[in-house]
Structure 1
Amino acid sequence: MELGSWLAQHGGVVHSQQAIRAGFTRYAIRQSLAGGECARVRQNWLALPTAPADLRAAAALGGRVACLSVARRHELWNLADGLYHVTVPRNAVVPPAPALRVHWGAGPIPVARFGLVEPIENALVHIAECQPFENALVVWDSALNKKLVTVASLARLPLHSAAARAVRAVATGLADSGLETLPVSRLAASGIRVSQQIMIEGHHVDGLIGDRLVLQTDGFSFHSTAEQRREDIAHDRRLALLGYTVLRYDYRQVLFEWPRVEAEILHALAQGLHRAPAEMRN
């Protein structure tokens, strides 16, 4: 097998010692470098021209892809900041770069010597320390929802970070997207409990406050087709006929118009729209 093909099978960036252990000679490596098949990153890392930019950035610093960069690799819901996040050894000296965010803290999971990507558990700890609480929570919920981690496995990790422990305490993984996590988190700060993914009339609703106030959130990747939209509206009508009040919000409203959204929810609560009729409660 040619070195370039082997590199492609291993992510496009590997340490030269890994190539030698795989059976490639130093002469073969020099020939590949001379022919432009691959290039050196730092002193001992070999990279294809098509290698992912985050791996090249990590190798160039002698570090690992971390934090939100790992979340993007796993396609987790996140409020992206456009930066490359990299962990480096505590004694590393890193020149400032506009698109780079460096993390020096080690996560709870050990990493192989030539590993270029932090485990998801370590990335979640970095995210909790790097991002505002809400931003971190949506990523943790997304990782739990995609079953990359479990509540039980996270509970067993020795987390020395207070920020990570705070996010772990409330992350559930019940939300299908960050748009569902954000209202739950924000309303909880006002003492309002939202039950998530409750089955009503044959469908799960994103959130239920009290007995009768339903919250639904529509993201970019869901509810986007005409057929899905008609199904959502039909379900809203069925809920209305059963005595529920449905408040439905989209991506822009949750992220950029939250004060108005929150005001509407509080007005609905003030009117008692979350309560079942007295005869149904008795």
Structure 2
Amino acid sequence: MSLAHWLTEHDGIAHSQQALRAGFTRYAIRAAVDTGVIGRVRRDWIALPDAPAELRAAAELGGRVACLSAAKRLGLWHLADGQQHCSAGHGSGHTAVGPGQRVHWSIGPVAVTRHALVEPVENALVHIADCQPFVNALAVWDSALNTKLVTPHHLARLPLRTRAARAVRDAMSSLSDSGIETIPVARLAALGITVKQQVVLAGHRVDGLIGQRLVLQIDGYTHHSSAAQRGADIAHDRALTLLGYTVLRVDYRQVLFDWPSVEADILRALAQRLHEAR
């Protein structure tokens, strides 16, 4: 196996010590660098030209991909903040932090191997809780539960050092299909409004039920990919209305960019006692 092929199997970048342990010689490494097949990152990391930018950045800083950047690699639902997040590692204090980069100096609850370039999911979740607004962080934690990358029991046993991380852990739930469902539930909870999730009404689950009669349906960014799905949703809304429920349906854009209007409508519905059984 060539060094380039070996690097391809290791996300395109590795520490030179890892290559040596895999059986490649220092001469082979130098030859590959001299011919341009691979390049060096700092002194001890070797990488293919198309190695992921976030892994290169972590190696440059002597750290690991962390926080939202790790969440992105793991496929977790998150709201991007336009920054490359890295955790501090050995020697990172001597490297300048570039524009658009954010370094996390806290140590996560899970030990990391010496040459790892990505934080474990548990450490990334702690970084997110300490770095992001509470509701945004909760959406990522819920996504991690929903995708079964972690379990409530496992997270409950971790010694979390910060108040922010403990607060998110106390509020997390696996009931949201995506963060766009977590966000309204958390925002309404802050107002003292309880939203029951995944309640079965008229043969189908609803995203949220307030009281006995106010239904909150939330359409995600990729929702209604077909006319058939859209038709099924409208039919279900109609069935709920005939059963005496009030249905408020909102979409991704409204949750993220027009929440005050949505919140105001929910409060008006509560003022009219539309959430109460009659």
TM more than 0.5: yes
For residue 90 of structure 1, report the CA deviation from its aligned partner.
7.5
Look up the SS of the partner of 1:246 in the other structure: strand
* Percent identity between the two aligned chains: 65
More deviation, 223-232/28-37: 223-232
For residue 93 of structure 1, report the CA deviation from its aligned partner.
3.1
Contact 2:7 2:48 in 1 (8 A): yes
Residue equivalent to 1:124: 125
- Which deviations, in whole Å up to 9, do the C-alpha atoms of 1:64-108 show, x marking residues without a partner? 000000110112111101111101137723413211010111100
RMSD of aligned C-alpha atoms? 1.1
Residue equivalent to 1:244: 245
Residue equivalent to 1:97: 98
- Partners of 2:68 and 2:230 in 1: CA distance: 31
For residue 203 of structure 1, report the CA deviation from its aligned partner.
1.2
Residue equivalent to 1:280: none
Contact 1:90 1:104 in 2 (8 A): no
- Which deviations, in whole Å up to 9, do the C-alpha atoms of 1:148-196 show, x marking residues without a partner? 1111111000000111001111011211111111111111111110001
For residue 32 of structure 1, report the CA deviation from its aligned partner.
0.6
- Partners of 1:158 and 1:75 in 2: CA distance: 25
Residue equivalent to 1:193: 194
Residue equivalent to 1:18: 18
More deviation, 102-111/215-224: 215-224
- Which deviations, in whole Å up to 9, do the C-alpha atoms of 1:28-81 show, x marking residues without a partner? 111111111110101100010010000000011111000000110112111101
Look up the SS of the partner of 1:43 in the other structure: coil
Task: List runs of 5+ in structure 2 lacking aligned partners.
Answer: none
- Partners of 1:174 and 1:241 in 2: CA distance: 26
Residue equivalent to 1:82: 82
Look up the SS of the partner of 1:196 in the other structure: coil
- Partners of 1:189 and 1:17 in 2: CA distance: 50
- Partners of 1:247 and 1:272 in 2: CA distance: 14
Contact 1:90 1:105 in 2 (8 A): no
Residue correspondence of structure 1 range 212-251 to structure 2 within 5 A? 212-251=213-252
Contact 2:58 2:65 in 1 (8 A): yes
Q: TM-score scaled by structure 1?
A: 0.96
- Partners of 1:96 and 1:111 in 2: CA distance: 22
Residue correspondence of structure 1 range 124-163 to structure 2 within 5 A? 124-163=125-164
Aligned residues: 277
Task: List runs of 5+ in structure 1 lacking aligned partners.
Answer: 278-282
Residue correspondence of structure 1 range 158-197 to structure 2 within 5 A? 158-197=159-198
- Partners of 1:36 and 1:90 in 2: CA distance: 28
Contact 2:212 2:276 in 1 (8 A): yes
For residue 253 of structure 1, report the CA deviation from its aligned partner.
0.8
- Partners of 2:65 and 2:2 in 1: CA distance: 26
Contact 1:254 1:261 in 2 (8 A): yes
Residue equivalent to 2:65: 65
